[in-house]
Structure 1
Amino acid sequence: MLWAQPKKKQLEEKLQRPPTFGFLLDIDGVLVRGHRIIPAAQEAFHKLLNPEGQLRVPVVFVTNAGNILQHGKAQELSALLGFQVEPDQVILSHSPMRLFSQHHERRMLVSGQGPLVENARALGFKSLVTVDELRAAFPVLDMVDLQRRPKTTPLPRNDFPAIEGVLLLGEPVRWETSLQLIMDVLLSDGNPGTGLATAPYPHLPVLASNTDLLWMAEAKMPRFGHGTFLLCLEAIYRKVTGKELRYEGLMGKPSLLTYQYAEGLLRRQAERRGWAAPIRNLYAVGDNPMSDIYGANLFHQYLQTARSVGAEEGARGPWKQQPSTARSCTSILVCTGVYSPEAPESPGPAPGGGAPPFHGHRDFGFSPGLLEAAHVVSDVHEAVQLVLRKEGWAL
């Protein structure tokens, strides 16, 4: 449903200047819990929609989920929020992989669940092998589950094309199978039916998305995320080889690349709506200090550094990004998801100034100050009200 607004507010809309700010909204724990909408989200969009049911300011939905198609997530949000969410307003954890075109022609092993192949193809990858397909080709590789072990020894295969890289799109269902077969691919240089005396290093390129250690669903306590799976894979690789597993790219919050990608979508959204003023101020609303807040503050730090030196270095990688027009990225932490000020185990700033446990990914380093949100509010409705007041917009 769309909300009716008083005539006074309609007049204010007509007189409203073009927006120079935009929102990056997390989904789980901010707008929804599991499959249920958080009531504050409906109130928030009451403020953000005009009488025609269009957004008054640019908004993108940035989630570290990746086990759904982009248009499917847009449809899901549309049904929950009561207005039309377009697919290009949704940033899944792996969406920035579109920028890694140098790997799109490689034969890639893909791990995760949901519409894996469809998602990978939508990102530009053309030659894909799933973990299940690899297991079917080499049944003797998967030996943990006694019930799934082959009853007879199959003939060795020499007709299976070599794998040239690994895509980790999200947590798989059978972790032991995926961990074993991914390791086999890395240790065999893409030929898991053979054995090498020495594991190659550097290993095949690995692209991963969603480094969240934990996430919040209907359960009272946070659930394991893909970051936990990556932690297992990294520990096994290091234990077996004595070397560190390296990534060609890590996508999803708190990656700088994800925020750069999000800013680009906000900019294009504003252009489509005819809003000529550049988007200067970004507001990132999330419930997870280690991904949402850390990432927003990291991007803000990057923007400040870029302005001070007069040029943008950009995130590491072989892609080209348009120069940023943003001047700030303000982090806003809500208390409807992973973070709760009453929960001592909540992964936010520790009471008394002590350092909290580091739940972030190894490659992002750890700067405790980046966990501190610019604002802590009860929910997304309060966050939207705060931003509109700060920007001098009518509530």
Structure 2
Amino acid sequence: QPPAFGFLFDVDGVLVRGSQPVPAARRAFQRLTDGGGRLRVPVVFLTNAGNCMRSDKARELSRALGLQVPPEQVILSHSPLQLFSQFHERCMLVAGQGPVVENAHNLGFKHVVTIEALRKAYPLLDMVDLSRRPKELFPSSSQNLAGVILFGEPVRWETSLQLIADVLLSNGNPGAELQHVPYPHLPILACNMDLLWMAEAKMPRFGHGTFLLCLESIYKKVTGRELRYEALIGKPSPITYRYAQYLIQQQAQKQGWKAPIRHLYAVGDNPMSDVYGANLYNNYLKSAQQNQVQAGLKRSPQAASAQAEVSLELRNDCTNSVESCESILVCTGVFRPDSAAPRETEEKVFHGHRDFCFDPSLLQASHIVQDVDEAVQLAFKKENWS
């Protein structure tokens, strides 16, 4: 019986904690594979990590799970950027850490400048660390940057915040004097909105969403205007889930499984990114079936542009077979069941991004289980699959 469902697995807090595999992960994948180690159900690994390459993440998952994971099954926070071809020929500033230049080129971007290269071209801009201030003056360079890609949290936040702000305020030429503040500013493509994430430490760590919050606050304080994004991708963005659905269907087709994919099961540990994202995409699927557009996004141009296209695309896609995307929350990462219900006097804290509205219903998982192995068993039971 060919599978009519697929899994979207988060990685950190679900399959691994830092570099250590979660014990239930191997048990789960023993259920998902046949005797030859081949998957019996389409699977995509959907992570908000972005400071690495797909091939590296695939190797890491292969070691953790004890099976061969091809890079084509891995979606990093920046993977959908290859869809944004209108920016591929522009000169873009790239921020983050790890192989940002290689990642940008693999996604189709032809001309990129790193924060470090910009800092060397304009040595007078980075002034926080006294030991890094230039000992002599250099002639000014001239860069004509046309946009910014934020791949993930950088190592030196103060340097990146300063130089990104300089590029936005100078309309791509940070060596120029500030005449007036251009608005709208240059386009920004941001990947990974996670405020927090779970590693080996007992408490969650700051994620790229925290860096975005700093950048937004600084820009608004300096200019009096809101920082705008051309696109926000990575979970919980519907763009990312639409891309994951495409890969699931492509995988099923490649394996020769004839049954159309009807249901997606998104397994994660973070209510704000994993549960919110899966539920939001489920709303898109439902509204597409009803031939109307509705989603949990603020009704503002900067939030809705790319996201609304997903709704329109689904609404117009008569061949779309997927009916639902169910969220399954595990207790091995950010989420802790004993802290799930706030006291009556406590105000609910929203950890999501500014451009996504706070809808408490989107934070309620379809199912809560102990670990990823229980999540797989639950989906199998719902699908009458063994």
Over 3 Å counting, the alpha-carbon distance change for 1:108 and 1:319 in structure 2 is: farther
Any idea what SS the aligned residue of 2:243 has? helix
Alpha carbons of structure 1 residues 224 and 50: separation in structure 2 relative to 1, 3 Å: same
Q: Which amino acid is the alignment partner of residue 129 of structure 2?
A: D
**Correspondence 1:107 to 2:103:** no
Q: Percent identity?
A: 62
Any stretches of 5+ residues in structure 2 without a counterpart?
Answer: 296-305
- Give yes or no for contact 2:283–2:294 (8 Å, CA) kept in 1: no
The aligned runs of 1:309-320 (5 Å cut-off) are 309=291, 315-317=307-309
Question: How many corresponding residue pairs?
Answer: 372
Match of 2:303 in 1: none
Is 1:86 the counterpart of 2:85 in the alignment?
no
Return the alpha-carbon distance in structure 2 between the equivalents of residues 89 and 356 of structure 1. Answer: 35
1:386 to 370, 375, 378: 378
**Are 1:349 and 1:356, in contact at CA under 8 Å, matched by a contact in 2?**
no
Query: What is the CA-CA distance between 1:355 and the residue it aligns to?
Result: 5.3
Q: CA deviation at 1:308?
A: 1.1
Query: After the TM superposition, which residues 1-80 of structure 1 pair with which residues of structure 2 at under 5 Å, given as runs?
Result: 17-80=1-64
SS of 1:356's partner is: coil
Task: Provide the residue aligned with 1:4 in structure 2.
Answer: none
Whether 2:173 is the aligned partner of 1:191: answer yes
Amino acid aligned to 1:250: L
Query: What CA deviation, in whole Å up to 9, does each residue of 1:161-218 have, x standing for no partner?
Result: 3000000000000000000000000000000000232110000010000000000000
- Code of the aligned partner of 1:301: N
* 3-state secondary structure, aligned to 2:276: helix
Structure 1 position 76, deviation (Å): 1.1
Amino acid at match of 1:132: E
The TM-score with structure 2 as length reference comes to 0.93
Counting only pairs closer than 5 Å after superposition, residues 201-212 of structure 1 correspond to structure 2 as 201-212=183-194
Do 1:62 and 1:91's aligned partners in 2 also have CA atoms closer than 8 Å? yes
8 Å Cα contact 1:349/1:372 also seen in 2: no
Residue 7 of structure 1: aligned partner: none
Contact 1:185/1:192 (8 A) holds in 2: yes
Matched, 1:377 2:344: no
1:233 partner SS: helix
- 2:294 and 2:335 map into 1 onto residues whose CA distance is 33
Cα offsets for 1:114-139 (capped at 9, x unmatched): 01101111111010000000000000
Task: State the Cα deviation string for residues 13-48 of structure 1 (Å, max 9, x = none).
Answer: xxxx11000000000000000001011001101110
Deviations 1:337-366 (A, max 9, x none): 000112x3xxx5535596520000011111
State whether structure 2 residue 112 is matched by structure 1 residue 128.
yes
The equivalent residue for 1:332 is: 328
The alignment status of 1:361 with 2:345, answered yes or no, reads: no
Counterpart AA for 2:37: G
In structure 2, distance between residues paired with 1:355 and 1:298: 23
Q: For the Cα contact (< 8 Å) 1:49–1:56, is it kept in 2?
A: yes
Q: What are the equivalent positions in structure 2 for 1:116-195 lying under 5 Å apart? A: 116-157=100-141, 160-195=142-177
Residue of structure 2 equivalent to 1:303: 285
CA contact (8 A) 1:349 1:355 kept: no
Q: Specify whether residues 117 and 248 from structure 1 end up closer, same or farther in structure 2 by C-alpha distance, changes over 3 A only.
A: same
Do the aligned partners of residues 310 and 147 (structure 1) sit closer, same or farther apart at CA in structure 2, a change above 3 Å counting? Answer: closer
Taking the aligned partners of 2:168 and 2:40, their CA distance within structure 1 comes to 48
* Distance in 1 (alpha carbons) for counterparts of 2:307 and 2:46: 18
* CA distance in structure 1 between the partners assigned to 2:312 and 2:92 by the alignment: 23
| Unmatched 5+ stretches in structure 1 | 1-16
C-alpha distance in structure 1 between counterparts of 2:254 and 2:293, whole Å: 27
318 and 390 in structure 1: CA distance in 2 versus 1, 3 angstrom threshold:
closer
CA distance in 1, matches of 2:92, 2:310: 19
- Other-structure match for 1:226: 208
Distance 1:311 1:208 in 2: 24
Task: Determine if contact 2:293/2:311 at 8 Å carries over to the other structure.
Answer: no
| Inter-partner Cα distance in structure 2 for 1:142 and 1:42 | 46
Instruction: Tell me, yes or no, if the aligned pair for 2:14 and 2:330 is still in contact at 8 Å.
Output: yes
Mapped to 1, the partners of 2:293 and 2:352 lie a distance apart of: 28
